[in-house]
Amino acid sequence: METSRTLGRSGIQVSALGFGCWAIGGEWQTPDGQPLGWGKVDDDESVRAVRRALDLGVTFFDTADTYGTGHSERLLGRALGKRRADVVVATKWGNLFDERTRTADGQDASPEHARSALTASLTRLGTDYVDLYQLHISDADPDHAARLREVCEEFVRDGLVRAYAWSTDDPARAAVFAEGEHCTAVQHTLNVLQDAPGMLALCEASDLASVNRSPLAMGLLTGRHSGRVALEAGDIRSRPPAWLPGFGDGSGADPQWLARVDALRDILTSGGRTLAQGALAWIWARSPRTVPIPGFRSVAQAEENAGAIAKGPLTAGQLAEVDHILGR
């Protein structure tokens, strides 16, 4: 497998694997206490993990202004340091938050907020440009999003942004952004348990990269969840919102989802892969446009995920076998 991929129509080269920086943002919550992070983190370990990923050839890092209410961006900027020019940095805007109380505080889809949010992200990241700027309001009104698309074009002309995208699971919404000259990707859910044929078809038709969040199904495809084991209080999966499947009522992983993982285990662990590496291999085999962005909180996780690159994608036959097992 090629170790790099082109980020859609932009010509920007990225490693075939990116790293998602949600988890390293640490704990944050809604005003009523709903956790939005992944639990406690060790910032020094997170920095070591980012730098280890760089050493292993990972050149694409995806964050958002709201992750850890700004902390993820600050930490990524610290970790990259003088190596900023060696990587492609993606971040997102649209959600409001209070850094002091580490709480989320609604959304703002106005053009004015887009510019102020970008300025703030550049400061936290310690950079003067963002490679990929992404709308983080998945269900924004399409007509209004067309205006935001034009705002992103202004950012490109100003030299603040190289390309832009929408983080959404709706192909019709993604198609609105795809009309923009410098739209080059869509970020959406994709993993072996949650296929997205409509979005992949749009990416092919519109020459977009498919940036894949939840490639390990929020941890279900790591092999670290078994049975009804409660998660720590600051972990979003301990009180999962409606959009987060696979963790039922928060008392641990859903047995039905775990049964599907078990049914796929032999295929995904073929070729000496770990379960997580096999899940990433499925994504690469699914489309040459895919760039999965698994999360991480440790050097060990960074090494395991990066190790998937050398093992390459699953075969077409294995893809077909997965579909047969899952009945799709």
SS3 readout for the chain: CCCEEECHHHCCEEECCCEECCHHHCCCECCCCCECCECCCCHHHHHHHHHHHHHCCCCEEECCCCCCCCHHHHHHHHHHHHHHHHCEEEEEECEEEECCCCEEEEECCCHHHHHHHHHHHHHHHCCCCEEEEEECCCCCCHHHHHHHHHHHHHHHHCCCEEEEEEECCCHHHHHHHHCCCCEEEEEEECECCECCHHHHHHHHHHCCEEEEECCCHHHHHHCCCCCCCCCCCCEHHHCCCCCCCCCCCCCCCCHHHHHHHHHHHHHHCHHHCCHHHHHHHHHHHHCCCEEECCECCCHHHHHHHHCHHHHCCCCHHHHHHHHHHHCC
> How many structural domains are present in the chain?
1
User: What local confidence, expressed as pLDDT, does residue 291 receive?
Assistant: 98
Q: Can you give the CATH number for the domain in which 82 is found?
A: 3.20.20.100
225 is a domain residue: no
* Domain interval for residue 155: 4-216+286-311
37 is a domain residue: yes
Split at pLDDT 50, 70, 90, the class of 251 is low
279 is a domain residue: no
pLDDT in tens, 51-107: 999 999 999 999 999 999 999 999 999 999 999 999 999 999 999 999 999 999 999
User: What local confidence, expressed as pLDDT, does residue 223 receive?
Assistant: 83
Which whole number is the average pLDDT over 7-18?
Answer: 97
326 is a domain residue: no
Split at pLDDT 50, 70, 90, the class of 244 is confident
27 is a domain residue: yes
232 is a domain residue: no
